[in-house]
Structure 1
Amino acid sequence: MAIGSTIHTFAVQLADMDRGVYDDLTLRVARHPSETDAYMVTRLLAYCLEYAEGIAFGEGISSTEEPAVIVRDMTGSILAWVEVGAPDAERLHHGSRLAERVVVYTHRDPAKVVAPWAGKRIHNVEAIEVRSFDPGFIDQAVALLERRSTVTLTVTEAQLYLDLNGTTLSSAVHTRPAV
């Protein structure tokens, strides 16, 4: 019998002062058995940091048709294609052709994430952003993870303050180009 996804519930208070986004969210996040906790936490942070009308989690880690997080307008057009982890050049090329904006959030070393893309064909690669966090930040957050978690996420001047189940962590949100 196959193991199913594990559902995590997050009660999120979001205050992104850099973008003027303030909201209370209840997110049910399905963690696929092949997905690491670090990937899931990065996916949650990507969702919150990209939060806008029309945002949704993609179909899942095994989907080739959608990214981890996607933002659509009311007509269904893709505004933002948000990858998590270390996507390959082909996925970025595909997403960049469909969306107005592409961003990658990674819990890995961003230099190692972008290295395999060198010399590969990626549509509009100069506009793709890669975002990462301070070393160890995601691992610290993973250690605090529960099936039902309370989250307060504050962003100001590219500094992220994360209160996860009563413990506060902080990290810069590092942004670099894909090339």
Structure 2
Amino acid sequence: MALKATIYKADLNIANMDVHQYGDYQLTMALHPSETIERLMVRVLAYARYASEALEFTKDLFETDEPALWEKDLTGQLVKWIEVGSPDEDKVKKASARCPHVAVITYGSSVAEWYKRSSKLKTLKNVEVWQLSEATTEAIQALCERTMSLQLNVMDGEWTLIGDHAQAVIEWTQLQ
């Protein structure tokens, strides 16, 4: 019998004073048995970076042609394609031809090697790549609960994610 996904819910309140974005988002995410808490929480941060009412989680672990998150306009056309992790550069290149805005949120100890090997990414004008520090991904795991209330504060480029029992300073590095 196959293991089933575990459902996580997050009430995410964003106060981004840098770009004057404020909002409350109710997120429902499925944690696949092969997925880590670290990746789940990175998906939450990816959502927070590009938050909008139309942004949604996909079945990326089941459907290999889908990103972790995407946003479609009212006609069903892709507007944003957001990958989490270290995706295959051909998948990102294909996404960049289909979608005007593509982002990769990468993390882990092998990011530098992955980015160095991904030479095609550097030629794509509509792709941005963000790296989360290892300290960040360690800290955000402490915020994870089956039902979470998270407050994200952004001011002067400093991101702080606050949960019920802990908080994490989010360190982003833009690689592209």
What CA deviation, in whole Å up to 9, does each residue of 1:59-98 have, x standing for no partner? 2323122110101111111111100000001110111111
TM-score by length of 1: 0.89
Percent identity for Structure 1 against Structure 2? 29
Residue 15 of structure 1, CA deviation: 1.3
Alignment-derived partner of residue 130 in structure 2:
131
TM-score after normalising by structure 2: 0.90
Which residue does 1:155 correspond to in 2?
154
What is the CA distance between 1:113 and its match in structure 2? 2.9
Aligned to 1:81, the other structure's residue is in SS state: strand
CA RMSD of superposed structures (Å): 1.8
Q: 8 Å contact 1:158–1:172 — kept in the other structure? A: no
Asked if the contact 2:108–2:133 (Cα under 8 Å) also holds between the matched residues in 1, the reply is no
Aligned residue-pair number: 175
Distance (Å, rounded) in 2 between the aligned partners of 1:144 and 1:117:
32
Q: Does 1:26 align with 2:18?
A: no
Is the Cα–Cα contact under 8 Å of residues 16 and 49 in structure 1 kept in the other structure?
no
Counterparts of 1:156 and 1:88 in 2: how far apart (Å)? 33
1:114 partnered with 2:115: yes
Aligned to 2:103: 103
Q: Which residue pairs with 2:35 in the alignment?
A: 35
CA contact (8 A) 2:79 2:101 kept: yes
In the alignment, structure 2 segments of 5+ residues that lack a partner are none
Aligned residue in 2 for 1:54: 54
Separation of aligned partners in 2, 1:40 and 1:78: 23
Deviation beyond 4 Å, 4+ runs, structure 1: none
